[in-house]
Amino acid sequence: MPHFKNYIAGEWVDSSSGETMENRNPADTDDVIGTFPAATKADVERAIDAANEALPGWANMPPPARGAILDKASAILDARQDELARALTREEGKTFAEAKGEVLRARDIFKYYAGEGWRMGGQVLPSNITGELLYTRREALGVIALVTPWNFPIAIPVWKMAPALIYGNTVVFKPASLVPYSAVLLVEALVEAGLPKGVVNLVTGSGRTVGDTLVGSKRIAGVSFTGSVSVGMGIYEKAMKNLTRVQLEMGGKNPTIVLKDADISKAVNIAVAGGFGLTGQACTATSRVIVEEGAADAFAAALTEAARNLKVGNGLESGVQMGPAVSEDQLQTDLDYVAVGQQEGAKLLAGGEQAGANGGYYVQPTVFDHVEPQMRIAQEEIFGPVIGIIRARNLDDALEKANGIGFGLSASIVTNDLQQAFQFANRIEAGVVKINEPTTGLALQAPFGGFKNSSANTFKEQGQAAIEFYTRTKTVYVGHG
């Protein structure tokens, strides 16, 4: 069985305890991908040492030179797109097409931030004193801890790492324990691109040991976390004790509103892409469809048919439209919520059961109708292919239902009515708003982040907004009169 290592201070190393964790393919649990180090607290400290030592050299390198390395990383991902996508499907379960999209996204993010090396800079401000130059300077924040989830094992680390690196920070990267293989392949690409030793360090191991040590360290300047609300809240509390800068992007319970003027087949396509794409395992996945009464029966019937026709299977097989749940735990969570929905009195229209027989964590695309806004299946993040239809009287009622929840990540509406679409954009409580598009899918050049409990609401990710988290600003007064 292949064994993989951590990358600390420019070397591939085992856990100092020698302990390992095993990783399997969720589409075929007999397929063992390999073993990975279960790092110790001491390993994490060594990684933080290495990142601190590498910091001055990296931060003082001209930004375009840092950009050239990111550009090279982008080219490597491009050249290896099929290989990486296959590895990603094998590890996480999403379909090959979804995995390929993710790898290409990562390639483009590196390219985008490589260009930032030529653009980043401060401001020159007018001075109120004769003979004074007043300007700001953007500096690297320091050593950044990246703690990432399993659902986008390449794209999320890259959308954190690329801005961290271009702005001169060094990194300790702790991937989710379900996806260490993607992390190793990503770091290999960066090493090959010529990243100096210590600039990126990879430490695999449990959240409890590796994650906790990182976020509690006084020598970490910033923590960028994506994952669940409960873990994120614990990280926030811990990091705040050291006044460590924190960015958290967390869960969602994202609604698509369908108004009665909507084209039903278009609305169904949008709900299927948002709710069943990526097996519903996206933070921006559609989990509630709030339908105006006049369209609800037709929409429910059409969505049921679409759910039943979706081909579920191993994401590496052609024609498969939805891969397995990522793990046995996640599969069980999905099935548990189906039972909860039935107990609560929602009407199961499609799916609800384990799918396939070939040793993977497959679950059927599931549709509930007559979901009430206060039901648990309407309030709690499931993170699986489960859509609940909620009926609404009109846009006001739909907005009240959409907003009556602790999350605020992404939301969409399907309508041709311009006035109602803009009403929605203005009144919905979500950081990402889509009109006639699924709740999933983000532009890498645009700011991204949720509202309410979906985020720490501190700093946005992606695009040029990322500079705010990954730099500190110095104001310089030059008296030359």
**Residue ranges in contact with ligand NAP by CB under 6 A:** 147-152, 174, 176-177, 206-208, 211-212, 215, 226-228, 231, 234-235, 249-252, 283, 381, 383, 409, 450, 454
At its nearest, how many Å lie between ligand NAP and the CB of residue 431? 9
Q: Of all helices (H) and strands (E), which one includes residue 7?
A: strand 6-8
Q: How far is the CB of 480 from ligand NAP (least distance, A)?
A: 46
What's the closest the beta carbon of residue 179 comes to ligand NAP, in angstroms? 8
Those residues with Cβ within 8 angstroms of residue 56's Cβ, 6 or more apart along the chain or in another chain: none
- The dihedrals phi and psi of 297, each to the nearest 5 degrees, come to -65, -45
Q: Minimum CB separation from ligand NAP for residue 284, in Å? A: 7
Minimum Å gap between C-beta 322 and ligand NAP is: 18
Rank residues 112 and 299 by Cβ distance to ligand NAP and give the closer one.
112
Q: Is residue 259 a contact partner of residue 414, using CB atoms and an 8 Å limit?
A: yes
* Closer residue to ligand NAP, CB minimum distance, 168 or 384: 384
Query: H/E/C letters for each residue in 143-207?
Result: EEEEECCCCCCCHHHHHHHHHHHHCCCEEEEECCCCCHHHHHHHHHHHHHCCCCCCCEEECCCCH
Q: Which is nearer to ligand NAP, 66 or 90 (CB)?
A: 90
Q: Which residues, at least 6 apart from 237, have a Cβ–Cβ distance to it below 8 Å?
A: none
Catalytic residue among 27, 257, 283, 326: 283
Long-range contact set of residues 347-356: C-beta below 8 Å, sequence gap at least 24: 349/300, 349/303, 349/304, 349/307, 350/303, 350/304, 350/307, 350/308, 351/307, 351/308, 351/385, 351/386, 355/312, 356/312, 356/313, 356/324
Identity of the residue, 5 or 197, whose beta carbon is nearer to ligand NAP in the bound complex: 5
Is 283 a known active-site residue? yes
Helix (H) or strand (E) holding 367: strand 366-369
Among residues 383, 456, 396, 390, the alpha carbon closest in space to that of 423 is found at 396
Q: How far is the CB of 148 from ligand NAP (least distance, A)?
A: 6
Phi/psi of residue 326, nearest 5 degrees: -70, -25
Nearer to ligand NAP, 226 or 304 (CB): 226
Rg (CA), the chain: 23
Based on CB atoms, which residue is closest to ligand NAP, 152 or 469? 152
Angle between helix 63-79 and helix 81-92 axes, rounded to 10 deg: 80
Which sequence positions are flagged as catalytic? 283
